[in-house]
Structure formats: C-alpha cells, structure tokens
Amino acid sequence: MGSSDLERITARRSELDALAEELAKRLQEVEAEREELGIAERVLLRLAEQDRADTEAAGAGIRPTYSMGSVAVGVLHRIKYRAVRPFRRRTALP
C-alpha cells in the first residue's frame, strides 16, 4: 500500500464526511418542513370544520364566529411559499 493510496483514502473519507454533514443538514430541513406541513394540515382541517359549522349555523340562523387568526394565515403562507420555491440543493450528490 503506497502513499498515494493512503492519500486517496484520506481524500475520499473527507468527501464522505462533508457529504454526511450536508445530508444531516438537509434531513433537518426536511423534518422541519414536514412539521410545518403537519401544522398546515391541522389548520386546514380545522378551517374546513369551522366552515362546515358556520354553514350549518347560518342555516339555523346563528351568526358564525371566527377563532383562527394571523397564525393560520402565516402558516399557510409559508407552506405556499415553499411550494413555489422549495429548498435548493447546494451541492450535487453522487
């Protein structure tokens, strides 16, 4: 085993370490986005339930109430923004 073999191994280990770091970072981004999507899903389900209740209440002559505020709008805006502009890959994966 020559010196050049050892250098190649060391260089490849360094490349793999950098790749592992990038993948760990991307995994964190994916997990964060999945969490946001879960929140958005719950918000949309709640809004749909509220809309159904409001429709039923309107049929019964009851004035609807609104309990969801700017938080729901902010979450939905972030999800819409990500759909238009998903995170970019900084380096090509082998």
- Residue 1's identity, in one-letter code, is M
15, 48, 50, 65 from 76: Cα distances, Å: 38, 14, 16, 20
Q: What is the pTM of this model?
A: 0.55
Look at residue 90 and tell me if it is in a domain: no
Look at residue 80 and tell me if it is in a domain: yes
Number of domains in the chain: 1
pLDDT at 29: 96
Full domain range(s) for residue 71: 3-84
pLDDT at 35: 94
Look at residue 94 and tell me if it is in a domain: no
Q: What is the pLDDT along the chain (94 residues), one digit of tens a residue?
A: 688 999 999 999 999 999 999 999 999 999 999 999 999 999 999 999 888 888 888 787 766 555 555 556 666 666 666 665 555 555 555 4
CA pair distance 85, 69, nearest whole angstrom: 25
Look at residue 75 and tell me if it is in a domain: yes
Task: Please report which residue ranges of 60-86 form alpha helices under DSSP H.
Answer: 70-84
Look at residue 89 and tell me if it is in a domain: no
pLDDT at 76: 65
Look at residue 64 and tell me if it is in a domain: yes
